[in-house]
Structure 1
Amino acid sequence: MGEKARTRPALSGMSFDHTLSREAALRHLVRVFEEAGLPDARTDARFLALHALALTPLDLSLRGREPIGAAGARALSDAAARRCAGEPVARIIGAWEFWGLPFALGPETLVPRSDTESVVEAALRLFPERDRPLHLIDLGTGTGCILVALLHERPKAFGIGVDRAEGALAVARRNAADNGVGDRAAFLCGSWLDALTGPFDLIVSNPPYIAASVVATLAPEVRLHDPHAALDGGADGLDAYRAILRGIARRPGLLAAGGALVLEIGYDQGAALVDLARAMGFEDVNVGRDLAGNDRVVTLRPSLAGR
């Protein structure tokens, strides 16, 4: 029986015929996602097909005519059902890429997003010397993606990831080890700066910054699958920033002389963060934008650091 004849019966739902070739199974998955109205049907299908069939892109290219087999059919059917039910691709795969590095996920971590790379870029610009022995802190570390990316780019740096969720810390610890920086990273369970003494050259964070009333309106992929504690920033979305900036203002020794903070912010929070920081005594405050042109990161070099 030809490939075309084998493919057609499998197109009636999310089940996959085990005799389908890998190429045909991918085409079927694309069609399922298109019929479900998923906006990135082709991209989602490719990611999930490679994951479910344990293939590399080269495998698919060179051996695309090989059948998926019974195990592959089951894995694809499961992935298709979960995606069509609204589960994000990254959650189905259990990992995602950030800064060109792989990061495992957990139920207490956000999925690393490309917008957050703006934090890494801003921090590297502040401390451009590759071999400088930096000491840095990542507050609300989650997967550890910001911390690990910075340690990857600064081979003589040492960093600490802080999070209130033990599950997130376990994931971050694993990610640091898997990306080759585990010997230069430590992880602490705590709330923002409470467990730290310093001094540190750099403090970075992607804290929860969505106003509490807005969380319920977020897309289901975020609202139902990302941890609520990593989204809810309080009534105006600024609670975490207040805690961080207040902690530095009360204990300026946490920052070394010339030290800096780099904080991710929501697209509409730039002006509010500048006002908040200056009200707490931070004089050198700058807002940076992401690739879409939205406010995305605030950098602060406070005069307090020199005291």
Structure 2
Amino acid sequence: MYVNPMMLCRLLPSVSHSWVHRRWLRKFDMTPSMLALHWQKVFEAHKIPEARESSEILISHALGAKTFHHIPPSVSRCPVSADQLEHVESMGQQRLQRVPVQYIIKEWDFLDMTLQMRPPVFIPRPETEELVGLVLADSQGLLSSTGPRILEVGCGSGAVSLALQRSLPQACVVAIDKTEEAVNLTRNNAERYGLQNKIQVLQHDILFDPPERLLTWGPIDVIVSNPPYIFTADMSMLDPEISRYEDHNALDGGHDGMDVIKGILHLTTCLLKHNGDVFLEGDPRHPHMISQWLKTTHSVQLRLISIFQDFCKKPRFVHLRKS
């Protein structure tokens, strides 16, 4: 007779759901595909976003594969072991609490890198890969014969800084973030790729710390940032994966989403070279807002070069140049 594990938990309330779930799964020879379908249905029943993707990522990780499609045929045809079932169960329970898969498996891909991830440090999004491409394609500052100096404001996991350093070995890259957690994670990821002696990582809050601290590495050819840019009023609409687990300091950009953006633009007056470039990721409303702000803020000598759309065709990136 088939007994659903959820029903068994209701009949035996003193028995934990996880224990019942594992015992129920062990009664069947669950191959990876069967297990993936099972967890997909569990996630769907609990309205977990991207249920299939979540299931496949967790199971791939438990089996030591990069992706579900990279599970070797010799493994995919065999039942999952008891230890692997327990590992998947543990991760699945976290996902049911809306923990992002990146934090559960403790890593995530960015371009050609696999970076460590730890809460609450901001998880890099696919759009930010486009930001790296724009910097490499459109910055005059990268033509510096002595090796460009690049500053990333708000480095998070170090994704952007490390990608630029790997693409431009001659560059001097300085990565700053206001939180110790982000600085430590960037350093860990730099060590993972042997770049700990190539990239400078500094805990620095551009809104409160004196800019003179950064002049050691100036003048800067390129400033790049995916800053906190969410309007404070929009923070309540974030998915639980974001609102519960990611650092709100890396998300909330103030009432107009421009607090840190303005700080970066002011920073250019003392730190950015003449004809140096600034590349920013922001809300689709920000390109127009930045353009209007520059017209009324004469102390900041920047001109708008380009506005770029992301892969969803939203105006996401701004390229500015110092006059």
TM-score by length of 2: 0.84
Q: State the match for 1:230 in structure 2.
A: 250
Structure 2 vs 1, CA of residues 273 and 26 (structure 1 numbering), >3 Å: closer, same or farther? Answer: same
Show structure 1 runs of 5+ residues with no match: none
Q: Which residue of 1 aligns with 2:184?
A: 170
The alignment status of 1:44 with 2:44, answered yes or no, reads no
Pair 9,53 (structure 1): closer, same or farther in 2 beyond 3 Å: farther
Quote how far apart the aligned CAs of 1:283 are: 2.2
C-alpha distance 35-174 of structure 1, shift in aligned 2 (>3 A): same
Contact 1:201 1:256 in 2 (8 A): yes
Residues 1:271 and 2:291 aligned together:
no
Whether the 8 Å CA contact 2:291–2:304 is kept in 1: the answer is: no
Partner SS state of residue 214, structure 2: coil
CA distance in 2, matches of 1:9, 1:168: 46
Matching residue of 2:164: 150
Residues 77-135 of structure 1: CA deviation (Å, up to 9, x unaligned): 11111112211111211111112311111224111100112221111112487996221
**Cα distance, 1:152 vs. partner?**
1.4
Residue 80 of structure 1 is matched in structure 2 by 92
Q: Distance in 2 between matches of 1:264 and 1:58?
A: 33
Corresponding position: 1:123 with 2:135:
yes
1:64 aligned to 2:45?
Answer: no
Which whole-Å CA distance do the structure 1 matches of 2:82 and 2:294 have between them?
58
Q: Secondary structure at the match of 2:176?
A: strand
Counterpart of 1:196 (choices 214, 223, 235) is 214
Work out the CA distance in 2 between the residues paired with 1:202 and 1:302: 10
Tell me how far apart the structure 2 counterparts of residues 141 and 82 of structure 1 sit (CA, whole Å).
26
Give the match's secondary structure for 1:292. coil
Give the structure 2 partner of residue 282 of structure 1: 302
Comparing 65-74 with 14-23, greater Cα deviation is found at: 14-23
Q: Secondary structure at the match of 1:287?
A: strand
Write out per-residue CA displacement over residues 223-269 of structure 1, whole angstroms, 9 at most, x where no aligned residue.
111101101111111000111111223x1xx1223311111111221
Superimposed CA distance per residue, residues 119-157 of structure 1 (whole angstroms, 9 cap, x where no aligned partner): 211111124879962211111111011111111111211
CA distance in 2: counterparts of 1:118 and 1:207, whole angstroms: 15
Tell me the SS of whatever aligns to 1:106: coil
Call closer, same or farther: CA 1:63–1:9 in 2, change over 3 Å: farther
Question: Hey, what's the Cα distance between the residues in 1 that align with 2:91 and 2:261?
Answer: 38
Does residue 300 of structure 1 match 2:300?
Answer: no
Alpha-carbon distance, 1:209 to partner: 0.6
Q: In structure 2, what is the equivalent of residue 91 of structure 1? A: 103
1:219 aligned onto 2:229:
no
Query: Taking structure 1 as reference, are residues 176 and 130 closer, same or farther at Cα in structure 2, changes over 3 Å only?
Result: farther
Deviation per residue, 1:45-94 (Å, 9 max, x gap): 11110112333443343321223222111111111111122111112111
Percent sequence identity is 27
Aligned alpha-carbon RMSD (Å): 2.3
Match of 2:279 in 1: 262
Give, in whole Å, the separation in 2 of the partners of 1:123 and 1:205. 10
Unaligned runs of 5+ in 2: 7-16
Q: Name the SS for the 2:155 alignment partner.
A: coil
Residues 286, 58 of structure 1: CA spacing in aligned structure 2 closer, same or farther, 3 A cutoff?
A: closer
Conserved? CA contact 1:140–1:163, under 8 Å: yes
Give deviations 1:282-304, integer Å, cap 9, x for gaps. Answer: 1244211111111111111111x
Task: Give the conservation status (yes or no) of the 8 Å contact 1:202–1:260.
Answer: yes
Secondary structure in 2 matching 1:77? helix
Q: TM-score normalized by structure 1?
A: 0.88
Tell me which moved more, 161-170 or 13-22: 13-22
Structure 2 counterpart of 1:46, which letter?
E
For residue 263 of structure 1, what is the amino acid of its counterpart? L
Give 1:160 shift.
0.9
Match of 1:181 among 195, 199, 205: 195
Q: Does the aligned pair in 2 maintain the 1:131–1:156 contact within 8 Å? A: no
